[in-house]
Structure 1
Amino acid sequence: MKKVFLTATPPTPNGDLHLGHLSGPYVGADVYTRYLKMHNIAAYYLSGADDHQSYVPWKSKQLNVTPRYVANKFGNAILETLESANVRMDAFIRPETSKYHIKFVQEFFQKLYQEGKLIEKETPCSYDETHDRYLHEAYIRGKCPHCGAECDGNACEQCGRPNDCVDMISAVSKFSNHPPTTRIFKRLYFPLSKYEKELRKFYGSVKMGSHLTALCEKMLEDGLPDIPVTHISDWGIPVPVPGYEEQRIYVWFEMAPGYLAATQELNAMIQASSDVKSLWQEDNTEIIQFFGFDNGYYHAVLFPALFLAYNPEIRLPTAFVTNEFYRLEGLKFSTSRNHAIWGRDLLQKFSPDIVRFYLCYSRPETFMTNFVLSDFESFVRSELIERWQSWLQELSHKLVKLYGGKAPDLGSWHHRHHQFYQQIKQFVDAADTAYQAENFSPQKITRTLCELVRISHSFGREESHLISMASRQDEIKASISLELLAAKMLAILSQPIMPEFSINLWKKLGYQISIQWEENFSFIPTHQAINELENLFASR
């Protein structure tokens, strides 16, 4: 049986999830997982808390608490927000409590070291002499040596490329707000360039967007760098190599074996017999990864190379699904600057279906998009309430008045019925295409659903003019049967995005069986009782 593992970049527990987080990989991967499960595919959604990011101890410094307190507090908050948003992960790994994570990461690291795939180098490193601190990631700020944008250490969110901190332009320590000095430290590096040939071959098969493709090709063109995979720190997983007791495994190195460990944890949860190595090597296994473009280098360059170094038989991802930044009233969402609308706050006022739908509708798929609260509220009112709900209520009233609340037979079709039927088929095909990993576009899906409702509403109102004509009653039966078909397909097509609305509509249409995708869709059976199609959007 085919198995699909879907991953979403583990969120950093230095704050709760804001709408920018939700609009990207977390809702996106949930939507795709639900779509696969509607096709009876064994799909498993994996993520976890990225506890060992340097942003966790940096947050703890600001709050005057321990890093572990921060990781636990916000890790719990993240899980609560995901649950409130109806994001259902099959495994969400907490490194501190996982039976497998730390052990597997260290074994993975040790194997690469023992096989000579990690190299030892003494290199200049950024250092804050005033505070006696080695600087990396969250602790240093400057300009990217590749694109000149403002960025933190080790990677640039704007262009997606890595840096080594000492090559940053106009860098300053966040501890002292002064330019750092340099000190020589011995660290372990992973030489990416050794895997250039395999990566080029991989890029010929994996499905990914143009922005990520350009990043990968630019890095290949400029020559792949050696990446430091250990840092001087007291936060993170200890380096399992003698002489490196004061260093920790680079958190982005940790994430690659972390995905494998998450699969092992899932295996234990579902009581499967396969081990993690065979799971990621089986021919019937497919891996699809969801992440923001700012994490593109890690997932598309570093992780595949690490997997190749660890075991060339591991199946690499078949598709990367990325998103760009989601802006809040023109500025980037930012946990550290508290420029955000927190997911839990919006979800306390609006149902998860409504929030999920709008985040999909405005999802930053190929370019940055913008969230404005007044636009969101206006959209909900004008599109979902005044159009969707109005159409379904009007259809419900016609059913009660004409047929006692039961589905009529298919009646007599004319050219306009055939035309509307073909339109319904086109909407189904368009949505199905947009749900595919290689074309994944919640923007297109939500717009297709809106257009399906608009066309159906228009068709229903136009046909209503014939209701009073005795000679046209067979045509009215055909029209209402087609409207019911459109409503049924709306329930099916919307299920991955709006699961509660979908199931509510499905049951009101008289179905007791579970909702599944229909390749060859069928009309609602004649005389099937239809409940009143009202109050379909759950309120808070």
Structure 2
Amino acid sequence: HKKVVQDMFKTLYDKGYIYAKEDEAFYCKHCKRFLPDRYIEGTCPYCGNKNARGDQCDECGKLLDPKDLVEPRCKLCGNPPVFRKTKHLFFALNKFENKLLKWMSDKNHWRPNVKKFTENWIKNGLKDRAITRDIDWGIPVPVEGFEDKRIYVWFDAVVGYFSASIQWAKERNEPDKWKEWWKNKEAKHYYFLAKDNIPFHTIIWPSILMGYDENLMLPYDIPANEYLRLEGEQFSKSRGLAIWIPDIIKRFDVDAIRYYLSINMPEHRDSNWTWEDFVSKNNDELLGVYGNLVHRILTFTWKNFGEIPEQGELDEEDKKLLEEIEKTSEEVHSNLQICSFKKALKNIMSLAQKGNVYFAQKKPWETIKRDREKCGTTLHVCLRLVKALSLMLAPYLPFSSQKVWMYLGYNDSIHKHTWSEITQDVETGKKIEKPEHLFKKLSLEDIMEEKDPFTLLDLKVAKVVDVKDHPNADKLYMLQIDVGELGKRVIVAGMKPYYSKEEIKGRNIVVVCNLKPARIRGVESKGMLLAAEDNKGNVALLSPKDSLAGEDVVVEGITKNPAQTIDFEDFKEIKMVVDEKRRVVYNGKPLKTKQGEVTVDEKVEPGAKVL
């Protein structure tokens, strides 16, 4: 990757698309460092968002220069930065305006929000952007005189598509294989992303490709989504406002989650995840329209025939449903081709609803009593519908679709089959399997009342009375702590690489008092202190300042009901993070004592995980 990035950078420089210019950059006197764009926050000059970043505003999607921000502040310490002169290399985006407009002129298959956003950006005039930064991480600049600079991430990141393809080809021992994808006029490149990344993929990345090698394939489609929000709030790991994948897949059927995300996809405007809507979509649509239809058809056929019955003479209702299958297959195919995934799913669910009407009108439970052959024809048509639905839904609901496929008597993977099979007949006489319900009915009350794992924790403020080196481990301390009414105890903590004894002794910390005792290198530890660690490996202790030893640490709205003991593996499932205000938060709410909110030292960055 490094080699490819530097080669593209140097080629653009040699062609005159990258040039040197003296500039002013933000410098934080308190932190004693130049600030990368994302280390600067302030008010967006376009929409007034007070938490815009130095490179982009998440609210309105505008690309920004740090100088554009109103009342800028250092994200690390909150102090206002100052300008200092520095020399940087700039990418001449303005040279690509006409080329970009010409390239975009036939992109009528793009989503309207993507095309309009990009056209407006270009027509307003593209500004050349600094492509280097005064930082010590990243790829070194391959230009003499700029060796101490680094290539900035927005250039480095998009080149990853190209460099990964080259690496893939090398690992296959076919070093030129990448050309089949990048120099093949028949190849189509799709970039799936969120709206905040639109300009990087419709303006910056195409410009880099145009300037580097005009024979490389430009993006064919950039189906960018708007934002999915959580109960009206923006998802934010640093604020704890998130749905954690490991947690949710334990609680709910994976295909139920996939269905809701697909039918609620923010393709053209922001959408909202709410638990009430999740339950409604699961019960009324996934289960009520599709799941029950499939189960009724398969169960009735299995009980009365045990195999796919023969198709007799078709009446008008039979023919109409088969025509609907073919029509829907074409509609879904067309919508998938233009990345209109939500509309395609609605097409499929509409067909399932028509199947419910057909099944109710044909009343096979009555015809089985007087005309078994006619009943068999009805079920044969129904099973063609089930097969078609399972194939069309396979990309959306891979697991339940595979179950349906097996119930229909197939022994292989549904995902090995092709779109053309949707309208093909089912095999008369094929044995079918006894079906089970595909989905479960959900209760909103049960979801909302489900016990929050945080209630099981017994978090308390403890004062460190004494600190000793662990006799059998170089990186461990033995801390004697005072937990108020619970008395004194010893815990083992891996803080030696981060804090001196003097820094820890006498301070307040937060301790998990009911963690199952464990012997750590021969010393029993009765509890665990909490600390935050960020992506760079920085570690900071939680700081319940001015609190008394033994005080409870709580989260507003969650009733404390601690278990007698809790295993470390269970504790790890409770996701606490550090937010922008250096508060420790759980599900967006801060940890508190009677004296106030629990914070961390300035050693770690927002988003740091607490363990």
User: What range describes the TM-score normalised by the shorter chain of this pair?
Assistant: 0.7 to 0.9
Matched with 1:408 is 309
**Structure with the largest fraction of helix:** 1
Spell out, residue by residue over 1:464-511, the C-alpha distance to the aligned partner (whole angstroms, 9 max, x if none).
Answer: 267347664443222211110110011110111111222221122122
Matched with 1:107 is 7
Gaps (5+ residues) in structure 2? 442-611
Tell me the SS of whatever aligns to 1:233.
coil
Larger radius of gyration: 2
Q: Is the 8 A contact 2:367 2:374 kept in 1?
A: no
Structure 1 position 512, deviation (Å): 3.5
Please state if 1:125 is matched with 2:25.
yes
Spell out, residue by residue over 1:239-270, the C-alpha distance to the aligned partner (whole angstroms, 9 max, x if none).
Answer: 22232233211111012321101111222344
Distance across 1 between alignment mates of 2:312 and 2:131: 69
Structure 1 position 448, deviation (Å): 2.5
Tell me the SS of whatever aligns to 2:98.
helix
Structure 1 position 369, deviation (Å): 0.4
Spell out, residue by residue over 1:115-140, the C-alpha distance to the aligned partner (whole angstroms, 9 max, x if none).
Answer: 32201011122222222221232211
Tell me the SS of whatever aligns to 1:286.
coil
Which of 386, 392, 402 aligns to 1:487? It is 386
Matched with 1:373 is 275
Once the two structures are superposed, the pairs formed by residues 319-468 of structure 1 within 5 Å of their partners are 319-403=221-305, 405-436=306-337, 438=338, 440-464=339-363, 467-468=366-367
Distance change >3 Å, CA 205–CA 538, structure 1 → 2: farther
Which of 480, 504, 508 aligns to 2:407? It is 508
Spell out, residue by residue over 1:261-301, the C-alpha distance to the aligned partner (whole angstroms, 9 max, x if none).
Answer: 11112223444452545641122322111111110010000
Distance across 2 between alignment mates of 1:352 and 1:237: 39
Matched with 1:266 is 168
Matched with 2:210 is 308
Q: Is the 8 A contact 1:414 1:475 kept in 2?
A: no
Aligned-partner residue type, residue 80 of structure 2: P
Matched with 2:509 is none
Please state if 1:145 is matched with 2:45.
yes
Once the two structures are superposed, the pairs formed by residues 16-55 of structure 1 within 5 Å of their partners are none
Distance change >3 Å, CA 469–CA 256, structure 1 → 2: closer
Spell out, residue by residue over 1:155-198, the C-alpha distance to the aligned partner (whole angstroms, 9 max, x if none).
Answer: 22233332220121222222332332211110110011101111
Spell out, residue by residue over 1:64-96, the C-alpha distance to the aligned partner (whole angstroms, 9 max, x if none).
Answer: xxxxxxxxxxxxxxxxxxxxxxxxxxxxxxxxx
Matched with 1:285 is 187
Which of 77, 82, 85 aligns to 1:184? It is 85
Distance change >3 Å, CA 133–CA 424, structure 1 → 2: same
Matched with 1:34 is none
Matched with 1:205 is 106
Range moving further from structure 2, 244-253 or 154-163 = 154-163
Q: Is the 8 A contact 2:166 2:175 kept in 1?
A: no
Distance change >3 Å, CA 502–CA 181, structure 1 → 2: same
Matched with 1:84 is none
Range moving further from structure 2, 321-330 or 526-535 = 526-535
Distance across 2 between alignment mates of 1:378 and 1:126: 49
Matched with 1:7 is none
Distance across 2 between alignment mates of 1:365 and 1:243: 46
Distance across 2 between alignment mates of 1:481 and 1:381: 27
Higher RCO (C-alpha under 8 Å, 6+ residues apart)? 1
Aligned-partner residue type, residue 14 of structure 2: Q
Matched with 1:498 is 397
Distance across 2 between alignment mates of 1:271 and 1:537: 45
Aligned-partner residue type, residue 178 of structure 1: N
Structure 1 position 216, deviation (Å): 1.6
4+ runs deviating over 6 angstroms: none
Distance across 2 between alignment mates of 1:319 and 1:254: 21
Spell out, residue by residue over 1:393-442, the C-alpha distance to the aligned partner (whole angstroms, 9 max, x if none).
Answer: 22123213432x11112112211112222222232222212211x2x122
State the number of aligned residues: 436
Q: Is the 8 A contact 1:412 1:474 kept in 2?
A: no
Distance across 2 between alignment mates of 1:291 and 1:218: 19
Tell me the SS of whatever aligns to 1:446.
helix
Spell out, residue by residue over 1:433-469, the C-alpha distance to the aligned partner (whole angstroms, 9 max, x if none).
Answer: 2211x2x122223322322222212321221267347
Distance across 2 between alignment mates of 1:284 and 1:238: 35
Distance across 2 between alignment mates of 1:466 and 1:371: 40
Distance across 2 between alignment mates of 1:177 and 1:471: 81
Q: Is the 8 A contact 2:391 2:422 kept in 1?
A: no
Matched with 2:538 is none
Aligned-partner residue type, residue 228 of structure 2: Y
Which of 90, 96, 107 aligns to 1:195? It is 96
Distance across 1 between alignment mates of 2:417 and 2:277: 32
Aligned-partner residue type, residue 22 of structure 2: E
Q: Is the 8 A contact 1:149 1:156 kept in 2?
A: yes
Structure 1 position 386, deviation (Å): 4.1
Distance across 2 between alignment mates of 1:455 and 1:488: 15
Tell me the SS of whatever aligns to 2:67.
coil
Once the two structures are superposed, the pairs formed by residues 87-102 of structure 1 within 5 Å of their partners are 101-102=1-2
Distance across 2 between alignment mates of 1:338 and 1:234: 30
Please state if 1:135 is matched with 2:135.
no
Structure 1 position 353, deviation (Å): 2.1
Distance across 2 between alignment mates of 1:469 and 1:486: 20
Matched with 1:41 is none
Please state if 1:166 is matched with 2:67.
yes
Tell me the SS of whatever aligns to 1:320.
coil
Distance change >3 Å, CA 103–CA 293, structure 1 → 2: same
Q: Is the 8 A contact 1:239 1:249 kept in 2?
A: yes
Distance change >3 Å, CA 271–CA 345, structure 1 → 2: farther
Which of 76, 89, 92 aligns to 1:175? It is 76
Distance across 2 between alignment mates of 1:157 and 1:248: 25
Q: Is the 8 A contact 1:256 1:307 kept in 2?
A: no
Distance across 2 between alignment mates of 1:183 and 1:492: 61
Distance across 2 between alignment mates of 1:481 and 1:469: 13
Aligned-partner residue type, residue 177 of structure 1: G
Q: Is the 8 A contact 2:302 2:433 kept in 1?
A: no
Distance change >3 Å, CA 348–CA 402, structure 1 → 2: closer
Q: Is the 8 A contact 1:491 1:506 kept in 2?
A: yes
Tell me the SS of whatever aligns to 1:285.
coil
The TM-score with structure 2 as length reference comes to 0.68
Q: Is the 8 A contact 1:408 1:526 kept in 2?
A: yes
Once the two structures are superposed, the pairs formed by residues 201-240 of structure 1 within 5 Å of their partners are 201-206=102-107, 207-240=109-142
Report the aligned-residue RMSD: 2.2
Q: Is the 8 A contact 1:410 1:478 kept in 2?
A: yes
